[in-house]
Amino acid sequence: MSIKPPENSRREKEFHVGDIVRVCDSMQSKYEYILNEPIGKNFDSHFRPELTPLQMLKLGVFEGKYINDCQKEFPKEWFHKAKLSPTPDIEKNYFRIKSRQPLSEWIRKGWITPDDPDPRGWFHWYCRYYLGRRIPEVDTRQIKRWRAFSRHRAQIIKNCESGNLHCRPRQRQALLQWAYDPFV
């Protein structure tokens, strides 16, 4: 069973600096934010993701179960070929391996807090950042987490023969879920 984008979703070209994005989904209601930057532009100099949200969703992340109920918030193009599922499905992940923890674990570890504007975690933040939202304190924290994740990329490069995608598939799936190129 596939999940189709809502009919009234906007295209990427319809998002503009100054737009107010209103959010109402299963985890947030009455939340809104302003787009401060053009979509996909003007990232912090310490944040250079290798994949866009569209690319990540198309390749297969989070077992297909992540931002399914908040598609109206994001460009409809992101979901045209996204591998989504109404329930978690490892087959939706590119590397066909479980590589995520439940949100309860993220909350327990303090990676998501009650006052966090992105209750689904890092990828939720990245989608909004890519769209153009900027919240300096939140951005700094999330970019720091993203940069720390590069250690997994270094481990793959150190321990895997170039082109061997069967080497460390869990780490590769995790890289994909953090916008790093998992095909190193």
Provide DSSP, 127-160. HHHHHT---HHHHHHHHHHHHHTHHHHHHHHHHS
Phi and psi angles of residue 181, each rounded to the nearest 5 degrees, phi first? -70, 115
Model confidence pLDDT, tens digit, residues 13-41: 999 999 999 998 888 988 999 999 999 99
* CA dihedral (93, 174, 180, 67) positive or negative: positive
The mean of the pLDDT values for the chain is 91
Q: Which of the four pLDDT bands, split at 50, 70 and 90, describes residue 7?
A: low
When pLDDT is averaged across residues 88-96 and rounded to a whole number, the result is 94
Percent of the chain with pLDDT over 70: 96
Q: Which residues of 7-29 are buried (b: 16+ CB within 10 A; e: fewer)?
A: eebeeeeebeeebebebebeebe
Q: Which of the four pLDDT bands, split at 50, 70 and 90, describes residue 3?
A: low
Model confidence pLDDT, tens digit, residues 107-160: 888 878 888 999 988 999 999 999 999 999 999 999 999 999 999 999 999 999
pLDDT of res. 6: 60
Please tell me what DSSP assigns to residue 6.
P
pLDDT of res. 77: 93
Q: What angle do CA 178, 141, 65 make, to 5 degrees?
A: 35
pLDDT of res. 43: 98
44 has pLDDT over 70:
yes
105 has pLDDT over 60:
yes
pLDDT of res. 2: 52
pLDDT of res. 95: 96
Model confidence pLDDT, tens digit, residues 60-75: 999 988 888 888 999 9
Q: Which two tokens stand for residue 101?
A: 């923890």
